[in-house]
Amino acid sequence: MNDDEPVLLHTEGHVLHITLNRPRALNALTHTMVRGIGEALTRAAGEESVTAVLIRGAGERGLCAGGDIRSIYEDARAGRRASVDFWRDEYRLNAQIARFPKPYVALMDGIVMGGGVGVSAHGNVRIVTERSRVAMPETGIGFVPDVGGTRLLASAPGELGVHLALTGRAVDAADAILCGLADHFVPSDHLDDLVRDLSRSTTAGEVTETVRRHATEAPGGELAEQRAWIDDCYAADTVEEITERLLKSSVPAAEETAAALRTLSPTALKVTLAAVRRARRLGSLEAVLDQEFRVSCRAFAGPDLVEGVRARIIDKDRSPRWNPSEHGDVTAAEVARHFEPLGDQELGLVSR
């Protein structure tokens, strides 16, 4: 194991450990990392000596903050297509994780956002801690939730998933479990003990029992108490009507949410709303990932992703100039265009 590698692999007992190893970049995913994880999972699936896989992030800040946004920005500005190739392999990895035949234990400690959700929340043993902050914050940079995130959020109770998809809000452990993004809460200072005990597990059943033995009840979240106004407001058909309901709700948190939505990309908001609602009808993760690939490719070619990354990551002025700048100027035809087939450039997971 070379500690300079972006993905570290080692085995303890019968558990293969995958460590995302870019702590200075909050373990943001690169194409090389995606390929490395996929290759490791392919080998582990066929090795009888491997009972389970455990994925975690190096450093103290989190599992993974997402993809390498700066490289996507530079790629788009230069008119290249490396980001599309990255997404193609990343989304295939998300599907591979969801179908992995052995326990896939994700330690979702600290920050878990965007692509970090993709390499964790599709697993079958998802652990959060009191430090967890889980989010799909893509609308803040003029993008749309991907890596299967629209399916995960579409499956959340009521309209909670739509709320999180549009706002990009980060949730804590209890709310991540409530929304179906995680399964178990383990205090962060117990993780080393959990990992040690997992290494002694020789069957999938023992892995499950070990996790349950270490898990406790998560501290109370916020979303359960906010369900009434969230479900009412986000049941509306359009972003405009959702915003209007939020403003008229007389609930301070709802009014603050309406103000926050007005700062985000109108195109990204409308496409995100459509994507989550379409995901509810698509059924399989593969079908949703095929849809997300179309949307991502179209967003990559549009103006708001570059502008959103510029405002948040590059210049950090937090003053993006969205195009169009008003919700009403984003037409139904423009939203529908994001979902049109890509011809021979399709991701094609369903056909596979």
Catalytic residues: 67, 115, 138, 146
Instruction: Quote the tokens at residue 348.
Output: 């094609």
Evaluate whether 27 touches 116 at the Cβ level (below 8 Å): yes
How many helical (H) and strand (E) elements, i.e. helices and strands, does the chain have?
16, 9
The number of angstroms, rounded, from the C-alpha of 62 to the middle of its chain's C-alpha atoms is 14
What whole-number distance in Å separates Cα of residue 70 and Cα of residue 62?
A: 19
What are the C-alpha distances in Å from 329 to residues 145, 238, 333?
A: 21, 13, 11
What whole-number distance in Å separates Cα of residue 85 and Cα of residue 98?
A: 21
DSSP 108: E
Evaluate whether 58 touches 20 at the Cβ level (below 8 Å): yes
What are the C-alpha distances in Å from 8 to residues 18, 97, 261?
A: 6, 17, 39
Phi, psi of 263 (to 5 degrees): -90, -10
* Residue whose entry in the numeric block shows the structure tokens 């052995």: 102
**Angle, CA of 340, 243 and 290, to the nearest 5°:** 20
What whole-number distance in Å separates Cα of residue 252 and Cα of residue 271?
A: 26
